[in-house]
Amino acid sequence: MKLYPTHNLEYYNTQFVGGIQETILSNGQSLYHPWWTTGGGNEYRTDFIDYIRSTGKSYQHAYEWCCGHGVIGFEILTQGISQTIAFSDYYDLAVNSCLDNANRLERSNDVFGYITETLSVIPENQKWDLIVGNPPNNPADDIRTEEGIKAGHSQDMIDLGLRIVIDPDWQAHRDFFHHIENHLLPNADLFLTVHQNYIPLIDEMAKEGSSLVYQGFRDITGDLSLKIAHWRSL
Ligand SMILES: C[S@@+](CC[C@H](N)C(=O)[O-])C[C@H]1O[C@@H](n2cnc3c(N)ncnc32)[C@H](O)[C@@H]1O
């Protein structure tokens, strides 16, 4: 399964309806990004922000894993919940659009970006007290590939969908929990989307790799199975 197709901005602008999309933040400012860098964050961001605010804490340094267009992180930054935000995704267009938007919003000094599939390459002096993520939440999905082929979709288009929804054998999650400890500030909060049935499995990974302690979950408005799960470091 090829999970990282090389997409070309000009190709997608001419080939697909959508092209560059505008996402308007709660403060009225806009993000501009290829539409295929989104993956649910526009719909989930209010639930994320409400859950984060329920801790009653303010944060210094935030990080959005699997950032895509970075809408959750930009809401955190522009609502003043954290002073800085770091973004990472293995999809270069995603991270580059975050950095472009930071530049346009004159927040470049507060925004960091890493194009990588592993946290092991992020410098260990990067420490965070708030971490959020809406990662691919399924370990395998051959049905989507079969349906895409039947519907006549190109392989590139099928790969594009897989990149957003599939984490093969939980490799990305395992890598995340294996390396996150070195980046945690004391009393850090982690909020991740997880399908309800997988919360125990993901919590096992958290326990194996880190000092993170599971705190509970909240529903996502309009989605029956996907939840936002919360961990806190010691
Ligand atoms: C569900 S989308 C979320 C996009 C955006 N954060 C949102 O909420 O709309 C998942 C994102 O994870 C990225 N991703 C998938 N596998 C990854 C990996 N192994 N390492 C880093 N990023 C990955 C994809 O490129 C995609 O941008």
| pLDDT of the residue at 18 | 55
User: What amino acid is encoded at 209 in this protein?
Assistant: G
| pLDDT of the residue at 128 | 98
Structural domain contains residue 58: yes
Tens digit of pLDDT for each residue in 39-56? 999 999 999 999 999 999
Structural domain contains residue 162: yes
Structural domain contains residue 102: yes
Residue predicted with more confidence, 93 or 157: 93
Structural domain contains residue 1: no
Q: What is the domain range of residue 141?
A: 10-232
The pLDDT of 185-192, averaged and rounded, is 97
| pLDDT of the residue at 105 | 95
Whether the per-residue pLDDT at 79 is higher than 50: the answer is yes
Atom of ligand 1 lying closest to residue 70 CA: 6
Residue 224 CB partners (closer than 8 Å, separation 6+): none
- CATH no. for residue 141? 3.40.50.150
156: its two tokens:
């590139």
Residue 11 CB partners (closer than 8 Å, separation 6+): none
Q: Which residues line ligand 1 (CB under 6 A)?
A: 38-41, 66-68, 72, 89-91, 94, 117, 134-136, 163-164, 167, 172
Query: From atom 15 of ligand 1, which residue's Cα is the shortest distance away?
Result: 163
* 176: confidence class by pLDDT, cuts 50, 70, 90: very high
Number of structural domains, the chain?
1
Q: Please give the mean pLDDT across all residues of the chain.
A: 89
Q: What is the maximal distance between C-alpha atoms in the chain? A: 50
Alpha carbon distance 39, 164 (integer Å):
6
Alpha carbon distance 233, 118 (integer Å):
20
Query: From atom 14 of ligand 1, which residue's Cα is the shortest distance away?
Result: 66
Of 93, 114, 111, 91, nearest to 102 by C-alpha is: 111
CA dihedral 228, 229, 230, 233 (to 10 degrees): -140
> CA 51, 110, 98, 170 torsion: positive or negative?
negative
- Helix H or strand E encompassing 34: strand 30-34
Distance 184 CA to ligand 1 centre (A): 21
Q: Is 75 exposed, middle or buried (0-12, 13-18, 19+ CB in 10 A)?
A: buried
Structural domain contains residue 177: yes
| pLDDT of the residue at 34 | 82
Residue predicted with more confidence, 89 or 18: 89
Whether the per-residue pLDDT at 7 is higher than 50: the answer is no
CB 137 within 8 A of CB 194: yes
Structural domain contains residue 4: no
Whether the per-residue pLDDT at 17 is higher than 50: the answer is no
86: its two tokens:
């770091």
Structural domain contains residue 40: yes
Whether the per-residue pLDDT at 5 is higher than 90: the answer is no
Query: From atom 12 of ligand 1, which residue's Cα is the shortest distance away?
Result: 66
Query: From atom 25 of ligand 1, which residue's Cα is the shortest distance away?
Result: 91
Whether the per-residue pLDDT at 227 is higher than 90: the answer is yes
Whether the per-residue pLDDT at 16 is higher than 50: the answer is no
Structural domain contains residue 37: yes
